[in-house]
Amino acid sequence: MAATITEQTVQVPDRGGKSWRVKNLFEAGAAEEVKERLARLRPDSERLWGKMNPAQMLAHCSAAIGMAVGETRPPRILLGRLLGRMAKKSLIVNGTPMRRNSMTEKSVLVTDERDFVVERQRLRESIDRFATGGPGICTKHPHFFFGPLTPVEWAVLMYQHLDHHLRQFGV
């Protein structure tokens, strides 16, 4: 059985014939959930893996949404051309959470110090802009690793990416 991807949702069947929805950032409930979790993040929240501090992570997530809306357009990488399709199915179609220490595209890598309050507000605004913009806001430029994505696939990826980094800091 294949996943069903419509304009706003992703339904994934399991072997028992049941299906579940994969959360995506076009869904108001998913966007609100992420923003509530952001509110629980603190400047001194301890990371469970990785190198970024909370403010850097917030800036990184805003930059990733910028990639989804076409503000940055990194080129495809060889590893993505080789493995991107398989990884896309696991992460975006099946909803498997991102693994710790996943590869980061250098254009969204944040290593300088950032202001936590400013970056959290910027990310909230980026989430709102993406969620309210709907499918039309998404770039047609291929993702650097996964390749071409539909708007709903971008929305799933953005939710998965935000969830990954919020879990990184225990929220």
- DSSP-derived secondary structure for 54-79: HHHHHHHHHHHHHHHTTS--PPP-HH
pTM listed for this prediction: 0.86
Cα pseudo-dihedral 129, 61, 171, 90, rounded to 10: 100
Sign of CA dihedral 134, 137, 142, 148: positive
Q: Spell out the domains of the chain, with CATH numbers in brackets.
A: 23-168 (1.20.120)
State pLDDT tens for residues 25-71: 999 999 999 999 999 999 999 999 999 999 999 999 999 999 999 99
HSE, CB side, 13 Å, CA atoms: give it for residue 70: 11
The predicted model gives 137-144 an average pLDDT of 96
The C-alpha atoms of residue 101 and residue 164 are separated, in whole angstroms, by 10
Number of helices (H) and strands (E) in the chain: give both, helices first: 5, 3
Token pair, residue 158, equals 């953005």
